[in-house]
């Protein structure tokens, strides 16, 4: 991130950047600052914004090869294209030949570090990973946002707020905005305010679904799934989060077997301390073999959906029913 700041300040830009990772708030913030410094968003002649998995590599190359129009640079900003997972064909070789006037900026949630494109960008440009922030950093950042609005919050209440929102900075920022409005005219945020304002996070629903699975309560698991669908959560995102949580449970299970305490598990795994506390009890109810099977089942089901073998909604139902012993 320091390199990006320096490039913006000095207005000396590399040919290609990759900003990636699950912490979307910081990643998108840095992407915007970098891109706006290279070519303002209003300059549609010299800036091309491409989103989603329909990005055509030939279009990127054609735009980059064209000389800028009354400007120093041509910018191609590519967001969540999947090109660093699906296997780009033309761009890996092109990374060596990007003209001096062009800058390509990738902003991706997930990447495959083994891909040709990742390795090509690493050799030709700059890569910055945006991982989930540690609890201490989130507490300081959240308290700072509240402080700018004249509100104090205790460490315990800030920790409780994080347990309600999860570690995603975008979601935390939105909930803090709601707290600021709710606590208007006051000087401190209390636990009751947090409970009144913050909604149920999707991760909490996923936790409850898996907890229901461990107790054999398949009806509750499916009811919670129906709630998430009613909230317009995409089934594939739900499937991804279920798989991620099973993977976290597997990691915690293995670290528990080594005799690690919850604080040490959080330190070694990078999983947030409050998540470790919530998941430790569930991990004890699974065998390591069962958790590995659940992780593998989620991966296989995701592949089955992508190849058209099964519908996305049904895929989650089968995971829940299968884990529940159906």
Return residue ranges of the chain for CATH 3.40.50.300. Answer: 2-129
Residue the block writes with tokens 């997930």: 110
Q: How confident is the model at residue 296 (pLDDT cuts 50, 70, 90)?
A: very high
Return residue ranges of the chain for CATH 1.20.272.10. Answer: 202-323
Higher pLDDT, 270 or 14: 14
Q: Is the CATH number of domain 2-129 3.40.50.300? A: yes
Nearest to 8 by CA among 47, 41, 35: 35
C-alpha–C-alpha distance, residues 76 and 65, integer Å: 11
Q: Give the tens place of pLDDT for each residue, 208-247.
A: 888 888 777 888 888 888 888 887 778 887 888 888 889 9
C-alpha–C-alpha distance, residues 154 and 243, integer Å: 34
Average pLDDT over residues 95-116: 95
Return residue ranges of the chain for CATH 1.10.8.60. Answer: 135-197
Q: What are phi and psi of 152, to 5 degrees?
A: -95, 155
Percent above pLDDT 90 for the chain? 53
Render 34-60 in DSSP notation, one character per residue.
HHHHHS-TT-TTTEEEEESTT--HHHH
Q: How confident is the model at residue 165 (pLDDT cuts 50, 70, 90)?
A: confident
Q: Which two tokens stand for residue 38?
A: 């290279």
Q: Strand order in 126-129's β-sheet? A: 47-51, 74-79, 102-108, 16-20, 126-129
Provide the angle, in degrees to the nearest 10, between the axes of the packed helices 312-323 and 202-214: 40
Question: Would you say residue 279 has pLDDT above 70?
Answer: yes
- In this predicted structure, what is the pLDDT of residue 176? 94
Q: How confident is the model at residue 46 (pLDDT cuts 50, 70, 90)?
A: very high
Q: Is the CATH number of domain 202-323 1.25.40.10? A: no
Chain mean pLDDT for the chain: 89
SS3 at position 256: helix
Using CA atoms, how far residue 89 sits from 144, 179, 200, in Å, is 45, 48, 42
Q: Give the tens place of pLDDT for each residue, 170-206.
A: 878 988 999 999 999 999 999 999 988 876 566 677 8
Residue 112 CA to its chain's centroid (Å)? 15
Cα dihedral across residues 259, 139, 241, 78: positive or negative: negative
pTM assigned to the model: 0.62
Kindly compute the dihedral angle of the four CA atoms of residues 139, 140, 145, 149, in this order, to the nearest 10 degrees: 100
SS3 at position 127: strand
Using CA atoms, how far residue 51 sits from 48, 82, 111, in Å, is 10, 10, 15
The percent helix, strand, coil of the chain (3-state, each to 5) is: 60, 10, 30
Q: Which fold would CATH assign to domain 135-197?
A: Helicase, Ruva Protein; domain 3 (1.10.8)
């Amino acid at each position: 991130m320091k390199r990006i700041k320096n490039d913006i300040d000095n207005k000396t830009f590399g040919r290609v950047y990759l900003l990636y990772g699950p912490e979307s708030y910081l990643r998108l913030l840095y992407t915007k600052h970098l891109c706006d410094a290279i070519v303002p968003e209003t300059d549609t002649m010299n800036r091309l914004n491409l989103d989603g998995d329909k990005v055509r590599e030939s279009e990127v190359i054609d735009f980059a090869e064209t000389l800028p129009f009354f400007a120093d640079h041509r910018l191609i900003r590519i967001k969540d294209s999947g090109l660093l997972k699906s296997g780009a064909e033309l761009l890996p070789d092109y990374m060596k030949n990007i003209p001096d006037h062009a800058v390509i900026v990738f902003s991706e949630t997930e990447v495959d570090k083994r891909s040709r494109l990742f390795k090509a960008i690493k050799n030709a440009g700059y890569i910055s990973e945006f991982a989930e922030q540690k609890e201490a950093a989130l507490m300081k950042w959240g308290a700072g946002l509240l402080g700018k609005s004249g509100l104090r919050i205790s460490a315990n209440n800030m920790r409780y707020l994080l347990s309600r929102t999860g570690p995603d900075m975008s979601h935390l920022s939105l909930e803090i905005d709601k707290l600021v409005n709710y606590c208007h005219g006051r000087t401190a945020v209390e636990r009751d305010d947090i409970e009144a304002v913050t909604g149920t996070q999707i991760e909490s629903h996923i936790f409850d679904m898996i907890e229901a699975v461990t107790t054999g309560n398949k009806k509750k698991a499916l009811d919670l799934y129906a709630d998430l669908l009613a909230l317009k959560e995409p089934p594939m995102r739900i499937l991804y989060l279920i798989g991620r949580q099973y993977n976290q449970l597997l990691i915690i299970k293995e670290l528990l077997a080594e005799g690690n305490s919850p604080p040490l598990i959080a330190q070694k795994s990078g999983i947030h301390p409050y998540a470790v506390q919530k998941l430790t009890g569930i991990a004890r109810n699974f065998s390591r073999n069962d958790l590995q099977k659940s992780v593998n089942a989620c991966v296989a089901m995701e592949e089955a959906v992508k190849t058209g073998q099964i519908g996305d909604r049904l895929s989650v139902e089968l995971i829940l029913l299968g884990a529940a012993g159906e």
